[in-house]
């Protein structure tokens, strides 16, 4: 049976609120809210506002990351939502950001990452207790 370690959603938000996309505090707050909506555990964040405009940032979560780069002059944001584990809902983060940025058009695709063929009746562990043990009963 094929199983994956993680899910990654690549998102393009178009027609977003220009002022929000250029405000580093609001962008970070939105990504933190998205991580919370996804039921993720926030570990750390780093954000930067460019001159004359634009914001890049990442929220590191225990389950991977949520990152963004904005082009306020085009009302556009490129977002990457990468999660591992079964308790995290990356699409909840997506929906939260869609509303918060006021996106008018969206393009997205989901990829499964770290795909392995696992014997029937066994599970692929996301964080094995022992590094040498990756598949369990």
Say if residues 14 and 104 touch (Cβ distance below 8 Å): yes
Say if residues 22 and 54 touch (Cβ distance below 8 Å): yes
Q: Which of 18, 56, 67, 84 is labelled catalytic? A: 84
* 69 carries an active-site annotation: yes
Say if residues 75 and 17 touch (Cβ distance below 8 Å): yes
Q: Which of 16, 65, 69, 126 is labelled catalytic? A: 69
Q: Which of 16, 64, 65, 126 is labelled catalytic? A: 64
In angstroms, what CA-CA distances link 79 with 10, 41, 93, 106? Answer: 6, 18, 11, 11
* 84 carries an active-site annotation: yes
* 136 carries an active-site annotation: no
Could you give the residue numbers annotated as active site?
Answer: 64, 69, 84
């Amino acid at each position: 049976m094929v199983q994956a370690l993680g899910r990654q959603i690549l998102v393009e938000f178009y027609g977003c609120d220009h002022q929000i996309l250029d405000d580093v505090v609001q962008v970070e707050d939105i990504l933190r809210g998205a991580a919370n909506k996804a039921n993720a555990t926030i570990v750390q964040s780093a954000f930067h506002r460019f001159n004359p405009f634009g914001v890049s940032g990442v929220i590191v979560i225990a389950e991977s990351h949520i990152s963004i780069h904005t082009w306020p002059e085009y009302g556009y944001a490129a977002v990457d939502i990468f999660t591992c584990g079964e308790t995290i809902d990356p699409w909840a983060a997506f929906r939260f950001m869609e509303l918060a940025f006021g996106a008018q058009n969206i393009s997205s695709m989901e990829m499964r990452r770290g795909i392995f063929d696992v014997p029937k009746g066994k599970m692929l562990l996301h964080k094995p207790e022992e590094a040498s043990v990756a598949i369990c009963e």
